[in-house]
Amino acid sequence: MSDGRTPIPGPSPSKGEGNFEALRARAGLQRWTFYFAIGLWLAVFAGLKLLVRPPMPASVLTIYMVLTTLAILIFVAANEARFRHFLAPLKAVFEGRVPRTLQVLVLTAMPALLAWGTYLRTAPSFDAPFEPRVVHPEPPASFPFHGKRIAVAGLQNPLRTGGPELEKRIAEGKTIYYQNCFFCHGDALGGDGHFARAFTPIPANFRDVGTISMLQESFVFWRVATGGPGLPKGATPWNSAMPMWQNFLSEEEIWKAILYIYAGSGSTPRTWDEEVKNDKQ
Amino acid sequence: MTSNDLRWLAALLLLAWGPVQGAVPAGVRMEPVKAVPVAADLKQGKALYERYCNQCHGNEGKGDGPAADFVYPRPRDFTLALYKVRTTLSGQIPTDHDLFKVISAGLPGTSMPAWKKYISESDRWQLVHYVKTFDSLGIFKDEPAKEQVAVSEAPKVTPELIAKGKEVYRAKKCWQCHGQYGRGDGTSAEGLKDDWRFPIRPVNFTKGWRYRAGDRVEDIFRTFTTGFNGTPMPSFVDAIPSAEDRWALAAFVKSLTRPPKNGQVLKARRIAGEIPGDPYARAWEEAEYLDFPLAGQIILDPRWFKPAHDVITARAIYNDRELAILLEWDDGTYNKGEGGKPADQVALQLPAAKITGDEKPYFVLGDRRHGVDYWRWNAGQGLARFTAAGHDRVTPREAGNVTAQGGYKDGQYRVILRRPLTPSGDNEAAFEPGRFVPVAFHLWDGHQGEEGLKMAISSWYYLLLEPETPLTVYLWPMGLGFVALGGEFWLLRRLRRRRNEEVKP
């Protein structure tokens, strides 16, 4: 069947392509270019689809895959020999130098794949609209609290003093936490209380490095005091189940609860000093 | 005598003692208890307990920690050594492995969490040792469990086995408490109390996610073989001596369960013709359902920590004129608002106006700037409609174009709410195919005294009228496919011609 013009890729080294072992090895590898390209494309796709959690939206995935396709094509086309090897299997199919069934299979599979890909694009999607949410928005300069206004800048936890007093306050904070917060934020402060799954966005996980351990207590006080309704627009205040705790707790109780969520999750708040240092850098 | 001899003597005595101590019912195979891998260090156990457990179970293990009044069921009082999830016979204390398993995996459907995520294995063993010290009768010390019920592998579950189990379920009167369809609505379900005199309800078998002792066939088999100590749920080994019958029963109970089916978008499919008013009609059975998890309303005053309901199921369909939503939930008691108890209720919440962007009303009863349209069905009084701009600004309005039909059957409510697609005024959401409309649910169980803000709530979800798929959706891919095919043939022809030309000269 072979007329010897374009070799059908395979492990056997072709004749007359240089005598050096290394060259031959490279040529040997190069003849697999087409399959490498397909394999690489599939691997990237599978990786993005299966390993990235939470799953990325379909539109983002499409962008990544278009970029991947372009990158692979550019790489392949950059070297003439490589490009030739890349096209070889396709040419072999079109020129009929492969078994008939394989030819028919490939020639029908390509339009079918294209049609399927198009269908995936045109088919209506019924996924919920994507709603981006700012998790840690800029706090306001000041906010209303029990009839007065509290300024966020420079606000510090007045109860965070040393000594045995602190232990007692943390213990009191624990009681406040388990009578008010654990339903949502969880027994072990993991954001998985027995009501948590009923709420979107899910309650914050205080053990996660992305929540209270990267926040200042002033920010946390603002969040606890004003809850979901106190959030600015970009943080979708209408969805947050976080209650407005100034309706239920005194100023001191909120500071105690805050002492406990840090102590219980084994984290420490960011301080103003750190903040100043970071700003200078 | 050496100490070794002594040990042998003790073992012999125990062997002789065993059968006397507690007669093993016929049809139950026992096996020795496994050894405990970690020795007790009570000081460490106490520290762990005071860090992780005392807020519920109390410093003295009496189940009276500061959180105890805020959860149902109540945290366990350890002083009486009464445990539910065991592998030991009815009335006996659990094995250490039983306690370890409960502490590790938690009790689904209660506030008792699975601690394996947060506490290391050896620390969990320390907690097992420490929890046992609360036993005021000293049973754990004097007569530790030596044998446990051996549960062999479940037989293959077949329709015949399930049918046989159904017969056992009927004959052994499980339905008296658990109800005919397992919804916890049996004739004796009401007024049950546990050994601590707290009210208790039979388990709803359909909720597979709430079996505290596990919902595999083997688990269910073990549960009614051992019984739940301290509750009205007895052991049924004496009543159902044949293991085969018990396997059949377990298979039947398992067949009543269904996993929750959650999602963000409730899709209404378009049907031709009338939307049936009978909630048991084919069109409704065929409509796709979704389960929406509910939580206690603990955001606004007065808060409600122990909601009766944890889920509501919804389906939706529409035709060229109207949209209908079927709401379904299990309730052990039918309350129409008589006998001093409020009526059972359900409410559907929609935005009161067209929403722009992703901005929505506050998810519980809206806010000052964004009102909600609130349709509430009451088992005694039927439909009432409100506009709410915050929980303290709820104003009644004419039901207008909204109608409701609801009923209670076999421990389950089914309520159909419907409205024409075109809004009748400005303060109503438009239902248009392809448009996402926010929707939320509220649910009340009058039997538990739920009314007003004492209710179970959901967050916002979406309702979507599935648009009919336009023909172009199929035409484009087909067209492109054919163009590609044509291209291939053109290329084939060209290549062949070129080859023929090359061969000729």
Residue B465: list chain A partners with CB under 8 A: none
Residues on chain B touching A238 (C-beta within 8 angstroms): 359-363, 367, 370, 460
For residue A281, the distance in angstroms to the closest alpha carbon of chain B comes to: 37
Please say whether the beta carbons of B428 and B349 come within 8 A. no
Q: Which residues of A touch B436 (CB under 8 A)?
A: 128-129
Whether B122 and B169 share a structural domain: no
| Domain extent for B244 | 151-259
Q: Mean pLDDT across the stretch A35-51?
A: 91
- Residue B351, burial from CB neighbour count under 10 angstroms (0-12, 13-18, 19+): buried
What is the reported pLDDT for B498? 82
Kindly provide the b/e burial profile for residues B167-187, where b requires at least 16 CB atoms within 10 angstroms of the residue's own CB: ebbeebebbebbbebbbbbbe
Does one domain contain both B341 and B406?
yes
Are B159 and B132 in a shared domain?
no
Q: How many domains does chain B have?
A: 4
Nearest C-alpha in A relative to B474: A119
Residues B319 and B220 in one domain: no
Residues A129-180: pLDDT tens digits? Answer: 888 889 999 999 999 999 999 999 889 999 998 788 999 999 999 999 999 9
Cβ-contact B294, B265 below 8 angstroms:
no
- Is the pLDDT reported for residue B202 higher than 80? yes
Q: How many CB atoms lie within 10 A of CB A210?
A: 11
Domain closes at, from B207, B235, B259? B259
Q: Is residue B505 part of a domain?
A: no
**Which residue type sits at B492?**
L
Checking if the pLDDT of B257 tops 60, the result is yes
Give the residue-averaged pLDDT of B308-327: 96
pLDDT band at B187; cut points 50, 70, 90: confident
Taking contacts as CB-CB distances below 8 angstroms, the residues of chain B near A54 are none
pLDDT of residue A273: 65
Single-letter amino acid code for the residue at A119? Y
Find tokens 């219980």 and name the residue.
Answer: A264
pLDDT for position B456? 97
Contact yes or no for B434 and A247 at CB 8 A: no
pLDDT at A24: 61
Q: Are B90 and B181 within one domain? A: no
Q: Max alpha carbon distance in chain A (Å)?
A: 92
Nearest residue to B225 via CA among B19, B26, B76: B26
* pLDDT at residue A276, as a whole number: 57
| Residue B348, beta-bridge partner list | B375, B441
Tokens of A156: 């510090």
pLDDT by residue (tens digit) across B359-404?
899 999 999 999 999 999 999 999 999 999 999 999 999 988 999 9
Q: Let me know whether B460 and B491 are in one domain.
A: no
CA closest to B295 among chain A residues: A195
Assess if residue B366 is contained within a domain.
yes
Which residues of B are less than 8 Å from A243 in CB distance?
298-300
Rounded distance between C-alpha atoms, residue B366 and residue B360, angstroms = 8
What local confidence, expressed as pLDDT, does residue A19 receive? 55
pLDDT digits (tens, 9 = 90+) for B261-299: 999 999 999 999 999 999 999 999 999 999 999 999 999
Note whether B116 and B189 are same-domain residues: no
Chain A neighbors of B303, CB-CB under 8 A:
248
Specify the DSSP class assigned to residue A216: B
The CA distance from B52 to the nearest CA of chain A, in Å, is 7
Residue ranges covered by each domain of chain A: 18-121, 142-280
User: With an 8 Å Cβ cutoff, are B117 and A188 in contact?
Assistant: yes
Q: Positive or negative CA dihedral for B25, B28, B29, B32?
A: negative
- Asked if the peptide bond before residue A201 counts as cis, ω within 30 degrees of 0, the response is yes
Question: What pLDDT band is residue B159 in, cutting at 50, 70 and 90?
Answer: very high
Assign domain A142-280 to its CATH architecture: Orthogonal Bundle (1.10)
In terms of CA atoms, which chain A residue is nearest residue B115? A188
CB B37 within 8 A of CB B125: yes
* Residues of B with Cβ-Cβ distance to A199 under 8 angstroms: 295, 459
Q: Are A239 and B110 inside 8 Å of each other by CB?
A: no
pLDDT at B343 over 70: yes
Contact A179 B70 (CB under 8 A): yes
- The pLDDT of residue B505: 55
Residues in chain B: 505
Final residue in a domain of this structure, among B145, B166, B190: B145
Q: Is A103 on the interface with B (CB under 8 A)?
A: no
Q: Which positions in chain A touch B358 (Cβ < 8 Å)?
A: 129, 131, 236
Task: Report the CATH number that the domain containing residue B206 is assigned in CATH.
Answer: 1.10.760.10
Write out pLDDT tens, residues A55-106. 777 778 888 999 999 999 999 898 888 898 888 888 888 888 888 898 889 8
Pair B229, B90 in one domain: no
Task: Note whether A190 contacts B117, CB cutoff 8 Å.
Answer: yes
Judged by CB atoms closer than 8 Å, whether chains meet at A241 and B363 is answered as yes
Residue B503 lies in a domain: no
Pairing status of strand B322-330 against strand B311-318: antiparallel
**Residues B18, B91: one domain?**
yes
Looking at residue B412, what is its pLDDT?
A: 95
Give the containing element (helix H, strand E) for B162. Answer: helix B159-171
Q: How far is the alpha carbon of B17 from chain A, nearest alpha carbon, in Å?
A: 43
Rounded CA-CA distance B347/B353 in Å is 18
- Taking the C-alpha atoms of residue A150 and residue A167, their distance in angstroms, rounded to an integer, is 27
State how far residue B481 is from chain A, nearest Cα, in angstroms.
5
Give A191's contacts (C-beta < 8 A, 6+ positions apart): A184, A185, A202, A203, A204, A205, A206, A207, A208
Total Cβ atoms within 10 A of residue B130: 23
Who among B66, B265, B485 is closest to A128 (CB)?
Answer: B265
**Residues B92, B142 contacting (CB under 8 angstroms):** no
Residues of B in contact with A123 (CB under 8 A): 469, 473
**B394: which 2 tokens?**
């709820």
B296 and B374 within one domain: yes
Residue B394 within any structural domain of the chain: yes
CB B202 within 8 A of CB B233: yes
d(CA B329, CA B406): 12
Chain B within 8 Å of A115 (Cβ-Cβ)? yes
Q: Who among B71, B293, B473 is closest to A123 (CB)? A: B473
Residue B5 has pLDDT above 60, yes or no: no
Q: What average pLDDT does the structure give for chain A?
A: 85
B1 and B34 part of one domain = yes
| B114, B145, B176 - which closes a domain | B145
Nearest alpha carbon to residue B145 among B75, B197, B204, B98 = B98
Q: Which of A18-27, B38-47, B117-126 is predicted least confidently? A: A18-27
| Amino acid at residue number B401 | N
Question: Domain of B318: which CATH number?
Answer: 2.60.40.1190
Q: Find chain A residues with C-beta within 8 A of B477's C-beta.
A: 114-119, 122
Query: Hey, is the C-beta of A174 within 8 angstroms of any chain B C-beta?
Result: yes
Instruction: Report, as an integer, the average pLDDT of B252-263.
Output: 92
- Tokens (6 digits) for A138: 């800029």
| B238 plus B286 within the same structural domain | no
Q: What percent of chain B has pLDDT over 70?
A: 95
Residue range B495-505, pLDDT digits in tens: 888 878 877 65
Q: Do A198 and B458 touch (CB under 8 A)?
A: yes
Closest residue, chain A, to B50 (C-alpha): A171
Mean pLDDT confidence for B82-98: 93
The whole-chain average pLDDT of chain B stands at: 89
Above pLDDT 90, what percent of chain B?
67
Beta-carbon pairs below 8 A across chains A and B: 147
A112 part of contact set with chain B, CB < 8 Å: yes
CB within 8 Å: A111 and B484: yes
Both tokens of B316, joined, read 């939706």
In three state form, how does the secondary structure of B196-258 look? CCCECCCCCCCEHHHCCCCCCHHHHHHHHHHCCCCCCCCCCCCCCCCHHHHHHHHHHHHHHCE
Q: How far is A176 from chain B (nearest CA, A)?
A: 9
Tokens 């959860």 belong to: B71
Work out whether strand B456-457 and strand A142-145 pair parallel, antiparallel, or are unpaired: unpaired
Q: How far apart are alpha carbons B289 and B382 in whole angstroms?
A: 23
Residue B300 domain flag? yes
Q: Which residues in B lie closer than 8 A to residue A175 (C-beta atoms)?
A: 55, 66
B66: nearest CA in chain A?
Answer: A175
Q: Which of residues 33-92 of A touch B (CB under 8 A)?
A: none
* pLDDT tens digits, B432-456: 998 999 999 999 999 999 999 999 9
- pLDDT recorded at residue A95: 81
- Work out the minimum CA distance from B441 to partner chain A, whole angstroms: 11
